[in-house]
C-alpha cells in the first residue's frame, strides 16, 4: 500500500488529529479493561442485554455469556430512549447489579454515561465507560470522560464521518485519557430494511488511520437478531478487535431491543463460528 506519513494510505483525504493519529505513536494501543486487553491478537467479545432490567435478568444473562466465552459484560443503566415514555433504565440500582454480577462472574462491565453530572458515579462502578452514538459530539461529556480515570468506549455518531469520529476521540485523549476504544455501530442512511447501515469499511479505515482499537456492534448496526451473526463474522474477518452484541436470557420479554438481542443458544452457536473466523484471519477468541 502506498502511504504518505506512517501508514496512512495516500488516497485517503482524512485530516487525522495528532493524538489519535500514527505520526506520534505507531504501535497499536492496547486498552486494559480491568485485566481484559483489547487491541492485541485476541478478539474480545462483549455481550449482555441492552439495558439492566432486573437482578434475575442481568444475573442469568451474565452467567450464560461468560460460559460461552464473553470477556466483558454490557448493560445500560442510563438509557438514551427516543421516547420519554419508554423504560429509561435502572440508574444507580442497575450499576450496583452490574458490579455484583461482575464480582461473581469475573467479567468487567461496560455501561453508558449520558450526562456530565453522572460521569463520577458511572466511572465508580464501570470498568469501561461507554459514550453512546447520540453523544459522540457532546463535547463537555467527552472532556469529562477524558478526566474520569477509566477506559472509554466511544461509539460512532450515526451521522458522523470518520474525521468527526476521530476528532471526538481526540477530545478524550487531549483531556488526559489514552485508553480509548472506537466502536462502529452503523450509520443512518436512506435504507429502511435495517435499523442502521453497518459501515464495516470503517474498520480497515480506522485501523489504518489510528492506533486505537476498533470494536463493532452488529446489534444496533442491523436491528435484526438474524443479521447479528453474519455481520459479527464479517466484522472479525475485516479486522475488528472486539465485537459487542446484545444477548438477553429471554428476548421476548426484554424492555429494550429484544428484537435484535440474541438468545443464549444463538450466542453459544455464534461463538463457535466466530472462533473459526478469527483463526482464519490470524486472531484468536478464547
3-state secondary structure of 32: strand
Identify residues 42-101 at the interface with Mn ion (CB under 5 A).
Answer: 50
Distances (CA, A) of 149 to 1, 143, 173, 177, 193: 37, 12, 12, 7, 40
187's contact among Mn ion, ligand PEP, none, with CB below 5 to 8 A by partner kind, is none
C-alpha cell at 276: 473459526
CB of 43 to ligand PEP, least distance (A): 18
User: How many residues bind ligand PEP, per CB under 6 A?
Assistant: 10
Q: How far apart are CA 221 and CA 202, in angstroms?
A: 12
CB of 54 to ligand PEP, least distance (A): 17
**What is the end-to-end Cα distance of the chain in Å, rounded?**
32
CB of 144 to ligand PEP, least distance (A): 17
| Cβ neighbours for 137, distance < 8 A, ≥ 6 positions apart | 157, 160, 164, 168
To the nearest 10°, report the CA torsion of 172, 174, 176, 182.
Answer: 30
Nearer to ligand PEP, 22 or 181 (CB): 181
Q: How far apart are CA 210 and CA 208, in angstroms?
A: 6
3-state secondary structure of 61: helix
CB of 5 to ligand PEP, least distance (A): 31
Using the rule CB under 6 A, which residue among 64, 118, 133, 261 binds ligand PEP?
133
Using the rule CB under 5 A, which residue among 128, 208, 257, 275 binds Mn ion?
257
Query: Is 114 a residue that touches Mn ion (CB under 5 A)?
Result: no
Query: Is 235 a residue that touches Mn ion (CB under 5 A)?
Result: no
Query: Is 158 a residue that touches Mn ion (CB under 5 A)?
Result: no
Query: Is 185 a residue that touches ligand PEP (CB under 6 A)?
Result: yes
Footprint of ligand PEP on this chain (CB under 6 A)? 50, 76, 80, 112, 132-134, 155, 185, 220
Amino acid at each position: 500500500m502506498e502511504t504518505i506519513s506512517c501508514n496512512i494510505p495516500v488516497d485517503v483525504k482524512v485530516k487525522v488529529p495528532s493524538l489519535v493519529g500514527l505520526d506520534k505513536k505507531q504501535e497499536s494501543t492496547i486498552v486494559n479493561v480491568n485485566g481484559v486487553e483489547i487491541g492485541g491478537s485476541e478478539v474480545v467479545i462483549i455481550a449482555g442485554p441492552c439495558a439492566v432490567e432486573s437482578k434475575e435478568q442481568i444475573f442469568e444473562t451474565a452467567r450464560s455469556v461468560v460460559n460461552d466465552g464473553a470477556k466483558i459484560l454490557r448493560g445500560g443503566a442510563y438509557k438514551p430512549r427516543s421516547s420519554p415514555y419508554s423504560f429509561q433504565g435502572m440508574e444507580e440500582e442497575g450499576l450496583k447489579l452490574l458490579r455484583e454480577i461482575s464480582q461473581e462472574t469475573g467479567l468487567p462491565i461496560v455501561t453508558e454515561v449520558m450526562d456530565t453530572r453522572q460521569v463520577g458515579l458511572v466511572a465508580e462502578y464501570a470498568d469501561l465507560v461507554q459514550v453512546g452514538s447520540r453523544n459522540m459530539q457532546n463535547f463537555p461529556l467527552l472532556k469529562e470522560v477524558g478526566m474520569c480515570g477509566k477506559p472509554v468506549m466511544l461509539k460512532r455518531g450515526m451521522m458522523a464521518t470518520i474525521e468527526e469520529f476521530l476528532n471526538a476521540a481526540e477530545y478524550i485523549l487531549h483531556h488526559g485519557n489514552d485508553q480509548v476504544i472506537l466502536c462502529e455501530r452503523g450509520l443512518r442512511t436512506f435504507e429502511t430494511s435495517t435499523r442502521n447501515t453497518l459501515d464495516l469499511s470503517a474498520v480497515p479505515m480506522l485501523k489504518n488511520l489510528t492506533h486505537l482499537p476498533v470494536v463493532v456492534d452488529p446489534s444496533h448496526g442491523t436491528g435484526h437478531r438474524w443479521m447479528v451473526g453474519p455481520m459479527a463474522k464479517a466484522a472479525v474477518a475485516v479486522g475488528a478487535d472486539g465485537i459487542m452484541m446484545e444477548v438477553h436470557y429471554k428476548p421476548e420479554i426484554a424492555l429494550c431491543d429484544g428484537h435484535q438481542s440474541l438468545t443464549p443458544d444463538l450466542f453459544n452457536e455464534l461463538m463457535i463460528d466466530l472462533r473459526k473466523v478469527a483463526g482464519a484471519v490470524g486472531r484468536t477468541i478464547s
